[in-house]
Amino acid sequence: MTDQTEPAPLIGVVPLDEAFSRLEAAFHGIPSPKSHNFISQELADKVLTPSRRNIIEVLTNRGGLSLAEIATATGQAIEGVRADVQALCLAGLLCQPDADHAAFF
């Protein structure tokens, strides 16, 4: 019989004590699924605005792209994309290998 359990969500909300438990386990070498967790839904909603969710979806489906390509794919102005990408990088959700490109971690 195969395991039918769902993998952990890539982005989720977990209580602070669970986040600390996962961090402690990582320090002890216990692997965990790659994910980014918020400690409250309010914080997740503040960071993951609709335009930022759209950027993450585009990058998840297409890999690393230039900011111009993200703007075209999302229908956003390049200035808005640049600001959203910077915010997502600060939150640890994206990496920006140079000023004109972004990729999903």
Assess whether 56 and 89 both reside in one domain.
Answer: yes
pTM of the model: 0.74
* Domain count within the chain: 2
Bigger pLDDT: 100 vs 76:
76
Give the Cα separation of 3 and 10 in Å (integer). Answer: 19
Q: What is the pLDDT of residue 7?
A: 52
**pLDDT above 80: residue 3:** no
Q: Are both 53 and 42 inside the same structural domain?
A: no
Contact (Cβ atoms closer than 8 angstroms) between residue 39 and residue 13: yes
Give residue 85's pLDDT: 94
Boundaries of domain holding 36: 10-47
What's residue 64's pLDDT? 86
Q: Are residues 32 and 58 in the same domain?
A: no
